[in-house]
Amino acid sequence: MKKYILGFALLLVMAQIGFAQTASIKNKMEALIQDNFAFAAKQYQYLKANTPDSVMPRSYVLATNTSVTSDTKWWCSGFYPGTLWYLYAYTKDENIRKEAEKRLGILEKEKYYTGNHDLGFMIYCSFGTAYKYTNNPAYKDVVTIAAKSLSTRYRPAIKSIQSWNSRDILKCPVIIDNMMNLELLHWVSDHGGDPVYKEIAVTHANTTIEHQFRPNNSSYHVVDWDLNTATVLKKITWQGAADSSAWSRGQTWGLYGYTMMYRFTKNPAYLNQAKKIAKFILSHPNLPADKVPYWDFDATTIPNAPRDASSGAIMASALLELGQYTSGKEKTEYIKTAETILMALSSEAYRAKLGQNGGFILMHSVGSLPHKSEVDAPLTYADYYFIEGLTRYKDWYLK
């Protein structure tokens, strides 16, 4: 009896310690989230000032103190207004809302764009996020039209959405990034749109599992198809270190994409795929202690290779959602890893000082190292997924 009482007391003490540790982490994360949103709201005033009204922010060149902008057809054009809507939802600052609405105004025409697969990034991350926080039916209409435009990229012969038009050595390229754009299609079908969009998303996701992944659950960046014969011509990289390497952002696109597909379908195959990708990433010997990846897991210059804050931000946001669909040790690992990343990205190692970095929140991302483009630079999508991750943590884990 005495042993039983001692054992019960020990369990009670351990439970109390565990509860205290959990409460301490939540308190720390709550303070971190408050600090980041307050900082971001001020920092984006500089980004706004550095960006003419007719274009979108893209990056910043520290060496020359030069802002880099883009037209609205650039695949990243939706991230700045999307981030603004997240900031508005938290701060209720009407000046942020006005800026978000102004940027949507120059972006809206891209709902008809059919030049590549990036309508999800361009329109869902902007107008979709705006609709989430406003229920403005005009925003929903834009997203619905964009889904129709994206559906024109579907190629029935290969059961995939063609990412880019033929270029250089590529005939019909499909890239892992395309998984992210399926959210646009699924959402529209689930909100009164044509059911065929969901069918396209599911079919594309299934084809990607079959052809884009290696036995170790890492993904190729590009699968190039022959539309006439419906056969794979080659599997290569466009932005990674080598055809056989694991380009970091590509791995996190896949993680996020299959987690999102499970949200919409509840198909266990998608949850299983997301968990397999997570295992590849989280068990990789080249994943740093702060969990912010090098630009490629197989970069030859590790540990001196550039980090990619954008990959870290995408991974944190994806793992927080994956934690919603798992339990036990898996759930704990996903959430703790996301916490580690968000804390790292909030530190001086990655977060800019107020008024610096061209007005962007995060430093040290990599666009395309092989093309010497946006290397060790701020990027709009790094900011977007960082703020989305903080929002998800607040909404899901601070209750």
Residues taking part in catalysis = 118, 177
Token readout for 388 is 């989305």
Q: Please state the length of the chain.
A: 399
Alpha helices in the chain (DSSP H): 2-49, 79-91, 94-107, 119, 129-134, 137-151, 182-190, 195-211, 248-265, 268-282, 309-322, 328-345, 380-397
* Residue corresponding to tokens 């800026």: 99
CB-count burial class (<10 Å; 0-12, 13-18, 19+) for 62: middle
| Rounded CA separation 252/60 (Å) | 23
Q: In what order do the strands lie in the sheet with 222-226?
A: 173-175, 222-226, 231-236
Token readout for 72 is 């609205």
| Rounded CA separation 64/44 (Å) | 20
Angle at 18 between CA 36 and CA 274, to 5 degrees: 60
Token readout for 95 is 């000046």
Write the DSSP assignment of 330-362 as a string of letters: HHHHHHHHHHHHHHHHTSTTTBPPTT-GGG-SB
